[in-house]
Amino acid sequence: MSSEKLPHLLIVEDDRALQKQIRWAFDQYEALTADDREGALAQVRRHHPPVVTMDLGLPPDADSVSEGFKLLEEILTLAPDTKVIVLTGQNDRANALRAVSLGAYDFFAKPFEIEMLGLTIQRAYRLYELQQENRRLQAMQQPDVLSGLLTRDPDLLRVCRTIEKVAVSDATVLLLGESGTGKEVLARAVHESSPRRRERFVAINCAAIPDNLLESELFGYEKGAFTGAARTTLGKIETANGGTLMLDEIGDLPHALQAKLLRFLQERVIERIGGRNEIPVNVRIVCATHQDLKSLIAEGRFREDLYYRLAEIVVNIPPLRARSGDATLLAHAFVRRFAAEQNRGAMTIREDALRAIEAHSWPGNVRELENCIKRAVIMADGNQLTADDIGLAGGGAQDAMLLDLRHARDDAERRVIITALARADGNVVRAAELIGVSRPTLYDLMHRFGLK
């Protein structure tokens, strides 16, 4: 096995003889060595070793453990999954236990048996590998309730997992994202994942209803409350009792109604317009807006106390332009859907159209892409959608530079693979051809980055 394939083992030890002994005993690993804290941190930043053995007594004061504990905390901050095995003095059990409480994997008192240390290092490597594999599997898994949401973007997949976690509670959720990013889709997912899924999901757009009608839409009214109120009518809040109420574009809620909504959130009772009775309502609230609520608070247009009532859980939805490969992935899906709806037979997207889709910034996000593809499917002369059929101008901004070269390289490779898979509509053979690697190599890279 070449040294490039050997797993890294970092040995932090200022006693050169002991350092050499440990290195010689474990030649099945590529041993990295350091004599002090700074040298060890440099090795961690450069190689991210899965396992570290380290002496607590390090220069400049080898008789003290302060440098060792400082190094332990810094390693676990830089690389939280790294397994650190602490080597201590014979009668230093208190510091050994303190190290474990801070996050060290295990400890050994000097002098130690090389065979026992070797077994511990093996177990540490195995645990590290299992945790990495578990992370990859979690990254690949999409919550069942969101199985209809197409994405390979890591940020949006994290949002999906957040939705799955918060749905089981009754916490109020605030969804923030540009118009067309899928806020209502995620709001419905909160409802469908919750214990309330058998009850009603009711949505109301606060920006679509005139201010003078919005109060009666939300809270309802009693018969005779105003001219034309011929019968008692329930509002959306009361209609959603037992279920979930989505308040879309909450940033457009009139200031006068904000106080009334705040009282409902605090007391969980409402009064219909023209009524005097307090009516208890058990409903889960999910809000959404494309606006910056904190800016509205600064301008005096949104109540700060209402914001903190609504923002128990805040979910930021990334725009389509920030979601690696999702534009082309969704484009393929929309073509199949609209081609079937319009009885156009099997339709595909040509390379020039895919490049135009990738270059476009999509200010209207998924909604804009959906409308664009539907129009193209209807208007196209043939069964291949061209750049002219799509009708987009190129554009796009460069990503910000990452200072961590290793992470930047991984991120670049991940983005290329996601884009190739999206452009090839999930065909691994075609994607491998696009990026110029063999199919087994692409499978290895997909496995490494947790991609299906």
pLDDT given at position 146: 64
Q: What local confidence, expressed as pLDDT, does residue 177 receive? A: 94
Q: pLDDT at position 321, please? A: 93
Q: How far is CA 141 from the centre of its chain?
A: 12
Give ∠ CA 325-327-331 in degrees, rounded to 5. 120
Instruction: Give the DSSP H or E segment for 76.
Output: helix 66-78
First to last CA, the chain: 29
- Provide the pLDDT for residue 426: 84
What φ, ψ does residue 318 adopt, rounded to 5°? -70, 145
What SS3 state is found at 355?
helix
User: Which residue is associated with the tokens 């810094």?
Assistant: 74
- For 332-359, give one letter per residue: b (16+ CB within 10 A) or e: bebbbebbeeeeeeebebbeebbbbbbe
Check whether 145 has a pLDDT greater than 80. Answer: no
Q: Which of 59-63, 171-175, 189-193 has the highest mean pLDDT?
A: 171-175
Q: Which residues have a Cβ under 8 Å from the Cβ of 157 and sit 6 or more positions away?
A: 139, 142, 151
Contact by Cβ (8 Å): 368, 362? yes
- Retrieve residue 157's tokens: 């997949």
Distance CA 15, CA 447 (A): 40
Residue carrying structure tokens 């905390």: 73
Per-residue model confidence as pLDDT tens digits over 265-308: 999 999 999 988 999 999 999 999 999 999 999 999 999 999 99
Tell me the per-residue pLDDT of 59-104, one tens digit each, with 9 for 90 and over: 888 788 899 999 999 999 888 899 999 998 767 888 889 999 999 9
Structure tokens at 452: 């299906």
- The whole-number pLDDT of residue 398 equals 37
Strands 51-55, 83-88: pairing kind:
parallel
Q: What percent of the chain has pLDDT over 90?
A: 58
3-state secondary structure of 288: strand
DSSP code string of 125-171 = HHHHHHHHHHHHHHHH---GGGTTS----HHHHHHHHHHHHHHTS--
Give the CA radius of gyration of the chain: 29
Of 335, 317, 330, whose CA–CA distance to 366 is shortest?
330
pLDDT band per the 50, 70, 90 thresholds, residue 140: low
How far is 287 from 176, CA to CA, in rounded Å?
9
Strand pairing class (269-270; 279-280)? antiparallel
Q: What is the pLDDT, as a whole number, of residue 1?
A: 42
Contact 232, 271 (CB under 8 A): no
DSSP state of 273: B
pLDDT band at 244 (very low <50, low <70, confident <90, very high): very high
Label residue 393 by pLDDT band (50, 70, 90). Answer: low
Q: DSSP assignment of 171-218, as one string?
A: --EEEE--TTS-HHHHHHHHHHTSTTTTS-EEEEETTTS-HHHHHHHH
> Which tokens in the block code for residue 76?
């676990």
Instruction: Give the whole-angstrom CA distance, residue 286 versus residue 293.
Output: 15
Residue 141 pLDDT greater than 80, yes or no: no
Phi and psi, residue 205, nearest 5°: -95, 110
Average pLDDT, the chain: 88
Report d(CA 144, CA 167) in Å as an integer.
Answer: 13
pLDDT of residue 414: 87
**DSSP per position, 87-118:** EE-TT-HHHHHHHHHHT-SEEEESS--HHHHH
pLDDT category at 112 given cuts 50, 70, 90 is: confident
Instruction: Grade residue 399 by pLDDT with cuts at 50, 70 and 90.
Output: very low
State the Cα angle at 338 between 333 and 343, rounded to 5°.
130
Between 110-114, 148-152, 363-367, the lowest mean confidence (pLDDT) is in 148-152
Q: Is the pLDDT of residue 142 over 60?
A: no
